[in-house]
Amino acid sequence: MASSAAFFLLAVAALHVCCCRGQGRDGGAVAAIYSLGDSITDTGNLAKEAPPGAFETIKHLPYGVTFGRPTGRCSDGLLMIDFLAHDMGLPFLNPYLAKNTSFDHGVNFAVAGATAMDPADQSNRTFSLKLQLRWFKDFMKSTFDTDEEIRKRLQSSLVLVGEIGGNDYNYALFGNKSVSEVEKLIPAVVQTIIDATKEVLDMGASRVIVPGNFPIGCFPSYLTAMASPEQSAYDSAGCLKDLNLFAAKHNAQLQRAVAGLRSSYPDAAIAYADYFNSFLSLLKGAPALGFDENSTHTACCGAGGRYNYDERRMCGVEGTAACADPSAYVSWDGIHMTQAAYKEMSRLIYHGRYLQPQILSFQE
């Protein structure tokens, strides 16, 4: 096997050949990125925080196989946040819980498994948005001397609030609650995201992106756990209709709330990142993008079955195996995407029409 350094160079070479500097809508350079979220964005916080023996799979190959080594990312390689940072002319974001590392160009506060709302059961320790926001504030206060210095820094930065909230629903749905029951959580989840975004804006953030949820009915995890004998339960793309409708309801409420933020903060550039429709676009164009058209709903890493997903034998445990070519798959482990899919999602969103409005520009 090639060295980690060689794999790292290959991973970087696989990035978009794009800009050397990213800008906001007003033309000002983005000097730093600050990110809050869950496993879609976590670049190593959970792996660094988890005690020995917990969440061991993400600390070992095959996680990170395309990158050349495990990094704590829930994928075979890079994430959307990595491609975005590169395209903005910035280094990859280091996780907040990393020691002796540089945070000169931003910090990643996202933690895999994080929820938007604080868990009702306090013994169930998850890294909620509230906790991440506290980390964010503590970091800014310890790094800059005054509130004015913080505001100045944030005015030349980009802040991502999410994707977050997906796990609030995942825990409930996989806890045997019905879709109709879980729908009742949507207003509170959305309000929690909006309240956190307001706090970031009140600190002085001038560019904020709030992503929505994915069409979860297309994911191998849900396709396996909630398989239906009725063909009418599936849409033409092979996704579960009820789950996608549920995700769309969350997104509709979140989009309306984000629009309200724009009215309240007219001097800030606030965008909604449409993960839902960009993912469906990816699925529709998968063969032309180099993905195996017969594997768009199949996990690269798993233990077999129709969708290669088994919640009792998750990727990385004994009895599972990774596919030979992750770049041909959309899904990495049934829950998270491959580097190849994240790269395409980043292109569709940040360089395409799924960032609404488009508040970023990229210079060659």
Catalytic site positions: 39, 333, 336
Residue 348 CB: number of other CB atoms within 10 A? 22
Residues 6+ apart with CB under 8 A from 311: 174, 221, 224, 225
Q: In a 10 Å sphere around its CB, with 0-12 CB exposed, 13-18 middle and 19+ buried, how is residue 72 labelled?
A: buried
Amino acid at 269: A
Amino acid at 359: I
> What's the rounded Cα separation, in Å, for the pair 212 and 219?
16
- What are the φ/ψ torsions at residue 144 (nearest 5 degrees)? -120, 145
Residue 47 parent element (H or E): helix 45-49
Instruction: Find the largest Cα–Cα distance for the chain.
Output: 61
Could you tell me which residues are beta bridge partners of residue 106? 33
Residue in the structure block whose two tokens are 């540089």: 102
Q: Report the sign of the C-alpha dihedral through residues 229, 230, 234, 237, in that order.
A: positive
Cβ–Cβ < 8 Å for 207, 268: yes
> What's the rounded Cα separation, in Å, for the pair 295 and 118?
36
Cβ–Cβ < 8 Å for 259, 198: no
Residue 24 parent element (H or E): strand 21-24
Closest CA to 280 of 190, 224, 344: 344
| Three-state DSSP class for residue 20 | coil
> What's the rounded Cα separation, in Å, for the pair 169 and 189?
9
> What's the rounded Cα separation, in Å, for the pair 134 and 315?
32
Cβ–Cβ < 8 Å for 76, 300: yes
